Amino acid sequence: MGIGRLTLLCITLAAVAGCSSEAPAPLLENLAPADWADAAGRFRSPTGEEIGHVVLTDGPNGVLLRVDLKELTPGWHAIHLHQTGDCSDGLAGFKASGSHIDPDDRSHGLLNSDGAERADLPNLYAGADGRATAEFFQSGVALYPSEESAAENGPYPLLDDDGFALIIHESHDNHMDQPIGNAGGRVACAALGGPADGEQTSLKD
């Protein structure tokens, strides 16, 4: 099955553009009900500070994910799925997370006629206080292996032997330029599965 369209379902900003004297709200501890999520992880800054959460659930045609982050620079940020669940080298740029998930060998970019990769997602917006909360749906992928998902998407579950990572970039993805849409460096990473067992929680029975 070819790559389906990606849909950004909802973006909720913790702060809109402008000045505010109020302190940012704490990170959401419960992004979804316990019976909703199949997996969960924590975003780390390059220095290892916990700066956000992600929860994910398998759907019949893809994966739904919710993210909540703080301490980003205001504005748009690229968010991509990477091949390896390893965020251990933040000061080196989170290179251990590998490159984009792309078993179909397609070009990068939601606006690219030769794309998109399974890694590609719409941009994430951080408000004036650096807070970003959003929900995305990514078709063409599944968290866990199953006969149904293999028939739909091929034998490429996200939570394979080395897991996967969600990477936030310092700038927006223009959805055209190779290999990452001119999105700049990697500023946050959430490891799911793989060597960073303590960073990811499988909620699958």
Q: Tell whether 93 is covered by a domain.
A: yes
User: Has residue 65 been placed in a domain?
Assistant: yes
Does some domain include residue 30? no
Exposed, middle or buried by CB within 10 Å (0-12, 13-18, 19+), for 37? buried
Residues 172 and 71: their CA atoms lie apart, in Å, by: 16
Could you tell me the pTM of the whole model?
0.82
Q: Has residue 181 been placed in a domain?
A: yes
Helix (H, G, I), strand (E, B) or coil at 169: strand
Element (H, E) at 79: strand 79-82
Domain hosting 128: range is: 7-14+38-202
Nearest Cα to Cα of residue 146 among 160, 135, 126, 136: 160
Phi-psi region of 101 (alpha: psi -120 to 50; beta: other; left: phi over 0): beta
Would residue 88 count as lying in a domain?
Answer: yes
Q: Is 186 part of any domain?
A: yes
Residue 175 lies in a domain: yes
Domain count, the chain: 1
Q: Is residue 154 part of a domain?
A: yes
User: Who wins on pLDDT, 13 or 89?
Assistant: 89
pLDDT tens by residue, 101-122? 999 999 999 999 999 999 999 9
- Summarize pLDDT for 36-89 with one digit per residue, the tens: 889 999 999 999 999 999 999 998 889 999 999 999 999 999 999 999 999 999
User: Which are the contacts of 127, defined by CB distance < 8 A and separation ≥ 6?
Assistant: 13, 14, 15, 16, 17, 74
In CATH, what number is assigned to the domain containing residue 42?
2.60.40.200
